[in-house]
Amino acid sequence: MKRAISAMLALAATCSSTLAVSASMPTVDYTVFGHTLPLQVKSEAIAITWNPTEANAYQMPDDLEDFVRSHNLIIQSTGQHHAILTALSGPLTDTSLNALRNHSQVASVQSVLHSPWATGTAKPSATSTLLLTDELIVQVDPSLSATALEVKLQRVGLELVRPLRFAESQYVVRSRSQHGPELLNTAQRLRQFSGIISAEPNMMQASVATVNLPSASQPVEISRLPHTKPNADTSLQQTAWHLDSRHYRGNRLPRTDIHATEAWEISNRGAGVNVAVIDSTIQWDHPDLINQLACPNISADTALPDETCGYDFVEADGDTRLSEAEIEILKPKFQDSFRLSDQQLLANYPGLVQMLGDMRSSEKARIIRGYLRYQVEVNFHGTWTAGVITANSPGDGLIGVAPDAKILPVRVFDLAGFTSTERLIEATGYAAARGVDVINLSLGSLIPSEAFTHHLFDLLDRYPNLVIVASAGNSNLDGVGFPAAIPGVLSVGATTLDGERASYSTYGGQLDIVAPGGDLWLGARGGILTTGGTWLPELWEGLSIPQSAWGYGVDPLGKYVRVEGTSFAAPNVAGVVALMRGEDVGSRLSREELLERLLATASHEALSLSESDHKHYRLQKELGFGTVFDIPFVRRSGIYEPSAPIDAEQYYFGAGVVNALQAVESVQKKF
């Protein structure tokens, strides 16, 4: 297994080295599984943590905010007492950096990095942003005592913070004096000590819930895509083509859905099965989700603070919904996007206006309006994911893939879309410890982590029936992203209503299976229908309800949305696994047996390759190299070198599109 991960990282290192040479940014070296991945330092940005006050933890103290703005820096909150500061033009000056480091309210300053190999482009984006904190995650041999560990840490200027919960022999440690790139060198030194298995930064990184400001060269965003209205006699559920595509494709064309509706007729629809959704905000009080919570029986001595049904590892409480404090952060900008005129909007957001450069004022206002709304919409990524799996409307709403299964909501992403290695380890360990049958990780492409990889291996060994499903990534690259690439994790790519590979979906090496992920360029009907979160009354207080849908919304409030991404292909598969496990009372099938049946019943029958994919496959097959994504960026084919040539269908679709009906029947026939 370690060799497989090492092969993946060797390819990533090759790609990133090419990019580092082609870009002008300075780099620092991140070492994982013995491979060095150059990360680019974003010289125009810095992250800070401020000392806690009695005010809203997400709100920077007024005098510090005034100080930051006096240096012409844009503030992006990335969590409690934390923000990224970006210069409006050019790199941050030494004067600004020193002033921030010496400010009485600034607790620490962190470097902001860019991982180009994760997204296939040398151009920085929110989805590839990393924050280098002053902490490390250290895994030790189980025989090494905490006292012995502290002695080793002291030798390199580190101190023990705490052991990670729900993990084996992993600790958070902190530097006493070293910061940023210096800490990477310290991690290297620490790895040389006996008893130390791994040492790496407790990296904060953006994945699912990230926001990029559109530019003049990207004039089309989701708010401009057509919103198709179903006929008067068409129910909302009928437009969920990923469950049954016949409403759109008729009976003559092959079905491109997962055959969920037929699976419901012969199964218990996932009853008795719990699925952990590890994601961003999960607004479980949505009418179609409120009765779907898994509430494990836990003793007082093992419960986390305020734990009831799931856990929020961002705010450290038992509620994965937006808190009052978070709503107060999101609400003003959200309301500005509806209430302000174009002229008022431009006057209120001069930093964004400057970033957009030279374009018509009306176009700037339109882009900023959509950007402000998207910042709120995308925080409900976890709500979108949960709805795909197990929505169960009491009325005329939505039904998910496994409507009688329950979800354990687990939040790891903050308002700005950042998570950390620490949160991911504890959240997955927590979910497994609470007895879930399936873990869904719609996480995109994270930076590889030895600590997280070792941890997932431990979970898979400790819980032999646990199935972990992860999205393959939206980078349109050959070779799935992390953590989907970890052996033992089921990786899922995305297909469209037309039965083609979604243009964004990662493919090739280590791709296991595909499922509908949507394609909004086909119009609103091309998206995956699921539950939204912007319907919250607190967000609309004092506003008039829009006359029509906006953004991803199907309705004016955004109670339902249509979305796209491998993030929504993965929960389709997680839901099918729940349907299968629901027929396996007592979990008699091992994980390997269950997945063997899942893959064996998948099919390429309704799938077709685009002309572009045909040509790319021909190139890969004949010349032996993969995606030419952004010259001179070249990513080789796959994580594994295939032992034998694979056909084009397997290259792009893995085992094929998941089939809930046949998968359920396969389990039933076993017993």
Q: How many other β-carbons are positioned within 10 Å of the β-carbon of residue 649?
A: 17
Q: What does the buried/exposed string (b/e) look like for 415-437 if buried means 16 or more CB atoms within 10 Å of the residue's CB?
A: bbbbbbbbbbbbbbbbbbbbebb
- Token pair in block for residue 303: 């419960």
Distance CA 619, CA 478 (A): 13
- Calpha distance 176→69 (Å, rounded): 29
Which three-class secondary structure state does DSSP give residue 135? strand
Tokens of 648: 């084009």
- List C-alpha distances in Å: 171 to 134, 135, 142, 248, 450: 14, 10, 12, 52, 13
User: 189, 192, 156, 197: which is closest to 174 by C-alpha?
Assistant: 156
Residues forming a β-bridge with 378: none
Given 134, 257, 279, 404, which residue is catalytic? 279
Distance CA 270, CA 579 (A): 4
Token pair 């792009």: residue: 652
Establish whether 81 is a catalytic residue: no
Has 194 been annotated as catalytic? no
3-class SS letters over 599-665: HHCCECCCCCCCHHHHHHHHHHHHHCCCCEEECCEECCCCCCCCCCCCCHHHHHHCCCECCHHHHHH
Cα distance between residue 182 and residue 282, in whole Å: 37
Q: Which of 381, 455, 604, 616 is catalytic?
A: 381
Nearest CA-CA partner of 376 in 423, 409, 418, 337: 337
590 is catalytic: no
Residue with tokens 């006057």: 347
Q: Which of 96, 442, 471, 567 is catalytic?
A: 567
Which residues are the active-site residues? 279, 381, 567
